[in-house]
């Protein structure tokens, strides 16, 4: 079995509840969405990657293991395009924690993946796309349900832009909270990078936190790895 892998590297997790943790990132190439703010353009489409076997990936990961390693992150692109490959990888590292970083729009694929320790679920907004498909949000909600059933530690991530409308965010977060209230799943508000674009809108970031805090446990975290100058 092979999968398109554009990068395997060790770094500090700069997003979400695992911020600051040392991880090995396995970045798959290819994505089923086309987000305007995508910061991994080279992984969006197949063509900039190696087709690697499980053993080749395992060998590269083994070379990168350090004493401070916390977990392995499957990221992209969109990693859930390759659920069988991920399952084989997970079986190779039974004692390591696994983070799945996903747009969560393929619930049928997420349902196949076993032994997910953590899951970062992107909540997409209509403004993130040139053309909005309401099924994107419906599938994200279904994926959250599946991940909760799998007993994964789930958190939602919402990328906001200076142009993001607070009322639209509130509409979606109300629906997310209905699915997650019994599990107290946190919401990570992530101001888009570079952070200097928020110079004139810093108080708006606080307003997003206030509004979303009515429905979910909120943390506001920029992309810390970029602030540190890391991949």
Q: Give pLDDT tens digits for 128-170.
A: 888 889 899 999 999 999 999 999 999 999 999 988 999 999 9
Residue 222 has pLDDT above 70, yes or no: yes
Residue 48 has pLDDT above 70, yes or no: no
Domain boundaries, the chain: 2-227
The answer to whether the CB of 136 falls within 8 A of the CB of 172 is no
2-227: which CATH topology?
TIM Barrel (3.20.20)
pLDDT tier at 19, thresholds 50, 70, 90: very high
pLDDT tier at 221, thresholds 50, 70, 90: very high
- The mean pLDDT value of the chain amounts to 90
The pLDDT of residue 57: 95
The residues facing 160 across adjacent strands are 191
pLDDT tier at 181, thresholds 50, 70, 90: confident
What is the Cα 182 distance to its own chain's centre?
22
Closest CA to 70 of 24, 109, 113, 108: 24
Q: Give pLDDT tens digits for 56-114.
A: 999 999 999 999 999 999 999 999 999 999 999 998 887 889 999 999 999 999 999 99
| Residue 38 three-state SS | coil
CA–CA dist 207, 119 (Å, integer): 26
The answer to whether the CB of 86 falls within 8 A of the CB of 113 is yes
The pLDDT of residue 16: 95
CA–CA dist 198, 201 (Å, integer): 5
Residue 49 has pLDDT above 70, yes or no: no
Number of Cβ within a 10 Å radius of residue 183: 12
């Amino acid at each position: 079995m092979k999968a398109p892998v554009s990068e395997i590297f060790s770094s500090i997790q700069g997003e979400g509840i695992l911020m600051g943790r040392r991880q090995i990132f396995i970045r798959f190439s290819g994505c089923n969405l086309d987000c305007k703010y995508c910061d991994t353009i080279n992984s969006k489409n197949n063509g900039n990657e190696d087709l690697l076997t499980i053993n080749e990936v395992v060998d590269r990961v083994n070379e990168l293991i350090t004493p401070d390693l916390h977990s392995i992150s499957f990221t992209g692109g969109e990693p859930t395009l390759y659920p069988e490959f991920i399952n084989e990888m997970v079986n190779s590292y039974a004692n390591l924690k696994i983070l799945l970083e996903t747009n969560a729009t393929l619930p049928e694929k997420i349902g196949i993946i076993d032994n997910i320790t953590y899951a970062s679920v992107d909540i997409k907004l209509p403004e993130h796309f040139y053309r909005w498909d309401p099924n994107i949000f419906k599938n994200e909600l279904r994926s959250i349900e599946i991940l909760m059933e799998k007993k994964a530690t789930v958190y939602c991530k919402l990328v906001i832009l200076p142009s993001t409308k607070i009322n639209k965010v509130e509409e979606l977060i109300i629906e997310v909270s209905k699915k997650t209230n019994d599990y107290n799943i946190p919401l990570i508000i992530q101001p888009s990078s570079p952070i200097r674009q928020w110079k004139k809108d810093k108080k708006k970031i606080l307003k997003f936190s206030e509004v979303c805090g009515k429905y979910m446990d909120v943390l506001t975290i920029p992309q810390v790895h970029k602030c540190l100058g890391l991949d």
